[in-house]
Amino acid sequence: MKQSLQQRGCLLCCALISAASLFAQAPAETATGIPTKVARVSVDPSRPGEPISPYIYGQFIEHLGRCIYGGIWAEMLEDRKFHFPVPAEGDVWRLTREQARVLAASPWKVIGPNEPVRMVAEEAFTGRHSPHLTAPGDGSRVGIYQEELGLLRDRAYTGYIILAGDADVGPVTVSLEWGRGDSERQTHLIRRVGPNFRKAAFHLTSGADTDNGRLVITVSGAGTLRIGCVSLMPADHVEGFRKDTLDLLKQLNAPVYRWPGGNFVSGYDWRDGLGNRDRRPTRTNPAWTGIEPNDVGLDEFVRLCELIGAEPMIAVNSGFGDAYSAAAEVEYANGSPDTPMGRIRARNGHPEPHRVKWWCVGNEMYGRWQLGYMQLNHYVLKHNWIETKMREIDPAIRTVGVGNVGNWTQGMLENCADHMNLISEHLYFRNSDIFFMANYAQTVNVIGCIKTTKTAAEFESTGLALMLYRRHFGTIPLGVEHQAAPLDIAAALTGDRKTLTVAVVNPTRDSVALEFAFNTAEPAQPASTWIITAGDPMASNQPGEPRRVDIREAPMADLGAAVSVQPLSITLWRIPIR
């Protein structure tokens, strides 16, 4: 199931399953058997359940697939800090077992013969080496380029190159190309290059739509040009984040985001993501292969949450990590500027503490696939050690332990109950008195709520379902009885108890008529109605194309009479009550 959804996208049927299973309510008492022509539904306001936590609408982002890079982050260039030698020594891309394409070698190519381009370790700008381009002095140009860039006609792009060179080298040109003709490029000229690395900004506009645009860097004159790193983003990026994705995240309105993993976190050193992004080291992605440029670190994640109005939840490394590193991370995030790590945060441009409340101690440490996996009797000691040191730094934090229903969770509860506020599980039962938070993976791309291409972003059907319930479903679950299986019916009051909400998931290909009884509640007026549906259960949305699945506001409904729910649909009503 997971693999097919990764390959084909989240579909309407997945949204129906999600809506039926993820949202808390009082336990339903659904009879089995053949539904009558009009199915009766009883909603009992005298049987309220525990309030539904807003945190069940949380989200989760991880350095996996194109969730962050290519999804949320606006950088268009791969390997912009030249982790791999230029030119490639093998295949540039490879497929993972999940059929995801990851970088295996340098995407930068050489114009003309390879000999003028060398990778030199001495005084490398970042990492192991930097590319040196030697111009022959005969008027000809040498250079490198990267292709497969997504460009839109008349769209502006902004970027910079960090470079240095000999006295007689230059000028340097940076060109954005949307074709191969002389009129199908725009060029920025850098006339002078000094002996020390400096940043040269450029602004370029595409003349056409293409998925195979190129950024080309060339140099003439005599001598050697050294390139430290390069960056290219759409000019409308928001502090480095894609504006189109950011707009959708704001609409999704999730209350909390969990980061950076997932399996990724057990091999992640959070210190790699601090300071000047251009100087941060590029690493091999410890969990998912490919590379991790570390352009999005802790400060960027917290800023993302600020931009979209969400709370940050940070997972610490309890795999290959240790208590000292976890405590230092808490101090970096929450310590005052006069603490050792708080001082570094202030030096990085964030004098005020981030005040991160939610902290996960590790991820799936019960699994043999997890980096640093260990047996339960060893892990409970490590969890308590790490959590104790984190709380010594900031006693106000709220911590989450690693759970896995069965012996593992039992062992964690028996040995670590006084060292965690919550425990994580991968199974969601419909008990709002037990489940406080849910974090849907991975928000963008993979199996997430939002899908992106190089130039567009769009909600998938699962994101629409979460958004619909987040906006309109009540917070006080009510008892529901019906004979309409396999329909799933949930009801809840709003917090002020003045409005009743009813949601129906119909996973069948048939319309179903329902007749409601609200017992002590009396509808004061017709119900506002929202519907998510499509004629095809495999319908999905594609970025840049008209939506096939959407939230549609339908005419007001009189729930005092029989109403019909469409096939393959989610229907949600809001009814003011007396």
- What whole-number distance in Å separates Cα of residue 20 and Cα of residue 556? 23
Average pLDDT of the residues in 321-348: 98
Total count of residues recorded for the chain = 578
Per-residue pLDDT, 96:
82
Helices and strands (H and E) in the chain: how many: 9, 32
Return the residue matching tokens 């060893």: 378
Q: What Rg value do the Cα atoms of the chain yield, rounded?
A: 27
Q: Which two tokens stand for residue 16?
A: 């129906």
Q: Which among 493, 496, 513 has a CA at the least distance from the CA of 504?
A: 513
Determine how many CB atoms are found less than 10 A away from the CB of residue 353: 18
Partner residues linked to 205 by β-bridges: 156
CA distance 281 to 274: 10
User: Under a CB-based contact definition with an 8 Å cutoff, are residues 571 and 553 in contact?
Assistant: no
pLDDT-based confidence at 89, cuts 50/70/90? Answer: confident
Confidence check: pLDDT of 464 > 80? yes
Residue 46 pLDDT exceeds 90: no
For residue 17, is pLDDT > 50? no
Task: Quick: pLDDT tens for 148-182.
Answer: 999 999 999 999 999 999 999 989 999 999 999 99
The alpha helices in 417-514, defined as continuous H runs, are 461-472
Residue 348, SS3 per DSSP: coil
User: Mean pLDDT score of the chain, rounded to an integer?
Assistant: 92
pLDDT (tens digit, 9 = 90+) per residue, 534-548? Answer: 988 999 999 999 999
Beta strand 398-402 pairing with 422-424 = parallel
Would you state the pLDDT for residue 20?
53
Instruction: Spell out the domains of the chain, with CATH numbers in brackets.
Output: 2-52+457-576 (2.60.40.1180), 57-74+237-431 (3.20.20.80), 93-234 (2.60.120.260)
* One-letter identity of residue 104: A
CB 272 within 8 A of CB 294: yes
Determine the Cα–Cα distance for residues 91 and 82; give it in Å rounded to an integer.
Answer: 16
Q: How far is 65 from 68, CA to CA, in rounded Å?
A: 8
- The predicted model gives 18-42 an average pLDDT of 54
The CA–CA distances, whole Å, from 275 to 307, 346, 404, 485 equal: 20, 10, 36, 56
Note the pLDDT of residue 18.
54
pLDDT at 10 over 50: no
557-568: per-residue pLDDT in tens? 999 899 999 999
Query: Helix 323-334 vs helix 298-308: angle between axes, to the nearest 10 degrees?
Result: 50
Give 263-329 as a DSSP string: GGGGG--GGGG-S-GGGSPPEE-TTTSSEE---S-HHHHHHHHHHHT-EEEEEE--SS--HHHHHHH
Predicted pLDDT of residue 569: 96
